[in-house]
Amino acid sequence: MLKKIWILFFVLSLLFFCSCEKEKPTGISVEDNPAHHYLVGMNLIEKKNISEAESHFDRALYLDRDFSPALAGKALVLAIKASGYKDRAHAEVDVERALKYLKKAKKKADGDSEKFIYHVTAIRVYYNARPKGWLEDAEGHYSDAISLKNVKEENLPYYQTRSAAHYFMGYAYYKAYEFRKAEMALSKVLSSKPGKWHDKADNLYKKVQKIVRAMGQYTLTKVAKKIAVKDEVTKGDVAALLVDELHLDKLMAGRIPIKSKLPKAAFVPADVLNHPFKDEILIVVKWNIRGLQPQYDKTTQAYLFKPQEPITRKELAFILEDLLIKLTGDSKIATAYFGTEKSPFPDVPVNAAWFNAVMNCTTRGLMEPDLSGEFRPNDYVDGAELILALMKLRNIMNIY
């Protein structure tokens, strides 16, 4: 009787555990698998489509909740989201969640290739989430990634090559304003065989070199470093650097006759009242720098400075040319290239309003064309280019 009870108990227990165990989900098509959704998700992140990327990582984890690359991808999505929140408390919630997903990705990583994916993605998580001590943590992941011996590049569906570790660590250093370290890391990508990250590393390396060249003669302020890493600089950024780095007020005042009175801003544009660079903007406004004057806005029916408006390369050329004229007192600069028959730049015709300004800036080395010879007048100016241009302008002014 006792034996029958034990047999019955065993059978019931077995049935209970079998019923509790969920059947592993299966995809509805050949491409509906964790690896495919992971790759699609990572490519979507590259295109800045974060919400859709998250959906793919969620699908990958539904199909396999222990798939390490998708866990790391989910952590990266949360870190990117956190970086965009203005509410610090809200951001910290997603940072904490990101680090939890990252921890699980480490635990579930199978083999050196998945460990490499985990470590490189972790670098990206840390420079987006920026928890306390983030750069040291990123460096630790970088060290671990490059020390892995059995990474097979054919098993890196998104990263593709081991040089991804150097590229993303170089980007992390760039974001941390460690420009010389960024230069070293990126140079390792450029010295390796050409691959997925070569062009990206080359573009970032050129930016970093501009900043390093500027730092070779001057110590950049915290504000300057923050502006230096921007992909697009604004009118407010230009004003801040002109005043804080070029010391515009002092420079201009030194070139005005002693008997003359220093100008004052005629009014305060309404859109700079609460701007962090308000004081710098008002100094720029009072000197009436071409390209940085308040403009009439039909919508508000007021003169606005528009401090958040990005600056194009031709607009920067106008600004630099006007500064050259004002600081040197040489009015001939304004017409120096009138009558030129042929432009050295295929995208800047001699009859363009900005041709003279572009020529004045390029012949003095303040701005540079591409290797193709194009000037790219309508492209936005990045922070590295602005910093280097102003440092070169300061060098020119030291001659006078």
pLDDT digits (tens, 9 = 90+) for 342-363: 999 999 999 999 999 999 999 9
**What predicted TM-score, i.e. pTM, was given to this entire model?**
0.85
Query: How many Å apart are CA 98 and CA 76, to the nearest integer?
Result: 7
Is 312 in a helix, a strand, or coil?
strand
Q: Which helix (H) or strand (E) holds 304?
A: strand 302-304
Which residues pair with residue 127 across a beta bridge? none
pLDDT digits (tens, 9 = 90+) for 49-103: 999 999 999 999 999 999 999 999 999 999 999 999 888 888 999 999 999 999 9
Please compute the mean of the pLDDT values over residues 371-397 and round it to a whole number.
93
CA-closest candidate to residue 170, choices 196, 157, 192, 188: 188
* pLDDT value, residue 258: 46
Is 240 in a helix, a strand, or coil?
helix
Between CA 21 and CA 31, with CA 27 as vertex, the angle to 5 degrees is 150
Q: C-alpha dihedral over 223, 271, 81, 226, to 10 degrees?
A: -10
CA-closest candidate to residue 384, choices 212, 266, 261, 199: 212
Strands (E), 198-244: none
Please compute the mean of the pLDDT values over residues 388-398 and round it to a whole number.
88
Supply the DSSP string of 217-255, one letter for each residue: TSPPPHHHHHHHT-SS-BHHHHHHHHHHTS-HHHHHHTT
* pLDDT value, residue 261: 58
CB environment 85-122: b (16+ within 10 A), e (fewer): eeeeeebeebbebbbebbebbbebbeebbbbbbbbbbb
State the chain's mean pLDDT as an integer.
90
175: pLDDT confidence band, cut at 50, 70 and 90? very high
Q: Enumerate residues 6+ apart whose C-beta is below 8 A from 134.
A: 126, 127
pLDDT digits (tens, 9 = 90+) for 237-282: 999 999 998 888 888 876 655 445 556 667 789 999 999 999 999 9
* pLDDT value, residue 249: 86
* pLDDT value, residue 89: 86
Is 297 in a helix, a strand, or coil?
strand
Q: What letter would DSSP give residue 11?
A: H
CB environment 178-191: b (16+ within 10 A), e (fewer): bbebbbebbbbbbe
Query: How many Å apart are CA 150 and CA 290, to the nearest integer?
Result: 59
Question: Are 80 and 121 within 8 A, CB to CB?
Answer: no
* pLDDT value, residue 11: 47
Evaluate if residue 19 carries a pLDDT over 70.
Answer: no
Query: How many Å apart are CA 231 and CA 380, to the nearest integer?
Result: 8
Backbone angles phi, psi at 337, to 5 degrees: -115, 15
